[in-house]
């Protein structure tokens, strides 16, 4: 591959696509597709109880941390900020990171670079690169498919096999719930750790698996539990955190690495909390005690459908698994697909009811969506079933089908999807209530556990439960009466249990903070009804910059 003539002296700008995002515009922003994980895909029907937060663009942060060239990261710019950065600094390379839905923004950004910084080499990376024929849609010099750190290192003439330096990343920002923005104190939010990209399971619809090699392949940044432990220790001390959001598509699949990490955690007395993604078959490789000792406190698990044939689900009783995890204090986030091949208008309601019946703490619903680069996309294209009049901006799984389904119409796909979110909320209550349930179960089971690491972790959680979370329960039981009186009674019963466990603190906090939270919740409801949306702040971070001037 050719390298840049300036090598490591080249000045690099890495940018995510421009906002604002939560609005409809000609560049592919959509009001139903805000830059928010939970509110977009998980708790979107939960009104003021929806969990709202932003996540940085970790791909470009990782690349920046792993090249020695002077490099700026511009995250969530507006077009004006992007233009200003291009004109106030000279960049030899401009890298743009995007996913498929934002391809029109990439086109516009390439146009802007050509106009405002004609000498720059334009490199486009991230999932957008999977679009067939992208070369003809945008004016870029390089389109990078797959892993980007090694590509950028090669382009700069650096050692692509050098160890990966993990940046210290705060996992979420500007968290908001019930109309209150939570304080951003150091150590208060988990750190993101990215041990690998891709997943070897190779489910047919899975874009991350396909993008990093497909079935049987993935790119590991940290092979061993020892390497991971060292990275986590460094980030623990830099960010003062004891919890980690482990951004690995199937963290528990790699048992040897996870068990070595546990060994090191035990030796060093680390009472860490891990939020992980894992498939059912991977979770079942561990006993509940191993998961608890490893600090697993939140699992995002693909449930897809009670009748699906995905290998990761085979032979596993999901109702039983979900219940067991929650009984051990592990919060479960399920993910169900609407519109699989076997779905029909007749069985869809029943399938949604089964999914809701798993009673997970959180539940993501997504439309079955053939995305460029995946086996499913190729299959649908070969069968002539892709809808050609659907913009990439609308093929994100939270709106309507982008393919011809055998039995379900495009309009009905949206109706079923919206109903699934609503039904989960109505039948199971706000996710915040459900996670309080799981916290209490975990505390009761492990408060006297012989390992002090485990006790400390549950103690940290329960401090929240007996404090602000109990005040939130007080609000939810009142507010939810209008949605489902039965669930409101259950919330009341849970609050009573919390107050029995912590008679003084829990009652005091509920009585003092509850009314304030009720007021802010109602105020938020009004704001949302009048169309209030939220946008992430812009970040500009420079590395190796001084040495470049």
> What residues from 360 to 399 belong to the interface with ligand B12 (CB under 6 A)?
371, 396-398
Look up residue 99 and give its two tokens.
């996913």
DSSP string for residues in 317-365: -HHHHHHHHHHTT-EEEEEEEES-TT--HHHHHHHHHHHHHT--SEEEE
Q: Write the CA distances from 245 to 232, 406, 487, integer angstroms.
A: 11, 38, 30
279, interface contact from ligand B12, ligand SF4, none, CB < 5-8 Å by kind = ligand SF4
DSSP state of 95: E
Residue 215 and residue 200 in contact, taking contact as beta carbons nearer than 8 Å: yes
Whole-number Å distance between alpha carbons of 116 and 1: 27
The CB-of-201 to ligand SF4 minimum distance in angstroms stands at: 4
With CB under 6 A as the contact rule, the residue among 41, 171, 275, 428 that binds ligand B12 is 41
123, interface contact from ligand SF4, ligand B12, none, CB < 5-8 Å by kind = ligand B12
The helix (run of H) or strand (run of E) holding residue 96 is strand 93-97
Which string of x and - marks every residue 206-245 that binds ligand SF4 (by CB under 6 A)? x-xx------------------------------------
Residue 218 and residue 202 in contact, taking contact as beta carbons nearer than 8 Å: no
The helix (run of H) or strand (run of E) holding residue 411 is helix 410-428
With CB under 6 A as the contact rule, the residue among 43, 64, 171, 207 that binds ligand B12 is 207
Whole-number Å distance between alpha carbons of 280 and 62: 29
Beta carbon nearer to ligand B12, 203 or 439? 203
Question: Does the protein bind ligand B12 through residue 302 (CB under 6 A)?
Answer: no
Handedness of CA 468, 474, 475, 480 (dihedral sign): positive
Residue 253 and residue 291 in contact, taking contact as beta carbons nearer than 8 Å: no
With CB under 6 A as the contact rule, the residue among 74, 140, 149, 408 that binds ligand B12 is 149
250, interface contact from ligand SF4, ligand B12, none, CB < 5-8 Å by kind = ligand SF4
Question: Does the protein bind ligand B12 through residue 249 (CB under 6 A)?
Answer: yes
397, interface contact from ligand SF4, ligand B12, none, CB < 5-8 Å by kind = ligand B12
Look up residue 228 and give its two tokens.
């991971």
For the beta carbon of residue 242, count every other beta carbon within 10 angstroms: 17
Question: Does the protein bind ligand B12 through residue 464 (CB under 6 A)?
Answer: no
Which of these segments, 53-61, 171-179, 507-515, 517-525, binds ligand B12 (CB under 6 A)? Answer: 53-61
203, interface contact from ligand SF4, ligand B12, none, CB < 5-8 Å by kind = ligand SF4
398, interface contact from ligand B12, ligand SF4, none, CB < 5-8 Å by kind = ligand B12
Which of these segments, 67-75, 91-99, 157-165, 196-204, binds ligand SF4 (CB under 6 A)? Answer: 196-204
DSSP state of 132: T
Whole-number Å distance between alpha carbons of 468 and 513: 7
Which string of x and - marks every residue 291-330 that binds ligand SF4 (by CB under 6 A)? -----------x---------x------------------
Residues that bind ligand B12 (CB under 6 A): 14, 16, 21, 33, 35-37, 40-41, 55-60, 62-63, 95, 97, 99-102, 123, 125-127, 130, 144, 147-149, 151-152, 194, 197, 207-208, 247, 249, 371, 396-398
């Amino acid at each position: 591959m050719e390298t840049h003539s300036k090598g490591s002296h080249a000045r690099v700008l890495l940018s995510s696509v421009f906002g604002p995002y939560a609005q409809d515009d000609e560049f592919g922003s959509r009001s139903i597709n805000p830059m928010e994980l939970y509110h977009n895909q998980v708790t979107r029907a939960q009104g003021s109880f929806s969990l709202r937060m932003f996540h940085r663009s970790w791909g470009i942060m990782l690349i920046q941390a792993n090249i020695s060239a002077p490099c700026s990261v511009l995250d969530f710019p507006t077009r004006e900020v992007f233009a200003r950065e291009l004109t106030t600094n000279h960049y030899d390379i401009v890298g743009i990171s995007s996913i498929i839905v934002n391809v029109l923004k990439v086109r516009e950004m390439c146009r802007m670079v050509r106009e405002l910084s004609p000498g720059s080499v334009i490199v486009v990376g991230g999932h957008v690169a999977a679009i067939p024929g992208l070369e003809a849609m945008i004016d870029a010099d390089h389109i990078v498919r797959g892993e980007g750190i090694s590509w950028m290192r090669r382009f700069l003439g650096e050692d692509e096999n050098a160890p990966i330096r993990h940046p210290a990343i705060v996992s979420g920002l500007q968290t908001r719930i019930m109309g209150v923005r939570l304080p951003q104190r150091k150590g208060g939010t988990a750190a993101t750790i990215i041990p690998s990209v891709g997943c070897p399971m190779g489910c047919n619809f899975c874009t991350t698996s396909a993008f990093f090699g497909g079935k049987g392949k993935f790119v590991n940044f940290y092979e061993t539990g020892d390497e991971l432990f060292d990275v986590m220790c460094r980030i623990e001390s830099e960010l003062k955190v004891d919890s980690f959001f482990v951004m690995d598509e199937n963290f528990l699949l790699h048992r040897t690495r996870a068990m070595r990490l546990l060994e090191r955690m035990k030796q060093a007395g680390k009472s860490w909390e891990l939020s992980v993604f894992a498939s059912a078959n991977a979770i079942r490789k561990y006993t509940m005690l191993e998961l608890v000792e490893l600090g697993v406190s939140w699992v995002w698990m693909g449930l897809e459908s009670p009748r699906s044939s995905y290998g990761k689900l085979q032979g596993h009783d999901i109702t039983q698994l979900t219940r067991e995890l929650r009984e051990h204090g592990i919060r479960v986030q399920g993910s169900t697909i609407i519109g699989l091949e076997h779905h029909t208008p007749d069985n869809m309601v029943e399938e949604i009811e089964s999914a809701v019946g798993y009673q997970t703490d959180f539940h993501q619903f997504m439309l079955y969506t053939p995305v460029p680069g995946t086996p499913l996309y190729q299959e649908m294209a070969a069968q002539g079933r892709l809808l050609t009049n659907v913009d990439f901006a609308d093929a994100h799984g939270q709106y309507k089908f982008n393919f011809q389904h055998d039995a379900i119409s495009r309009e009905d796909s949206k109706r079923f999807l919206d109903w699934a979110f609503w039904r989960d909320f109505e039948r199971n209550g706000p996710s915040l209530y459900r996670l309080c349930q799981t916290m209490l179960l975990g505390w009761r089971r492990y408060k006297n556990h012989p390992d002090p690491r485990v006790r400390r972790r549950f103690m940290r959680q329960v401090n929240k439960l007996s404090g602000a979370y109990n005040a939130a329960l007080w609000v939810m039981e009142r507010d939810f009466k209008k949605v489902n009186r039965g669930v409101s009674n259950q919330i009341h019963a849970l609050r009573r249990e919390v107050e029995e466990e912590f008679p003084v603190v829990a009652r005091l906090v509920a009585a003092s903070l509850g009314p304030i939270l009720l007021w802010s919740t109602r105020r938020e409801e009004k704001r949302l009804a009048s169309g209030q949306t939220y946008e992430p702040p812009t970040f500009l971070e420079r590395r190796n910059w001084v040495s470049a001037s």
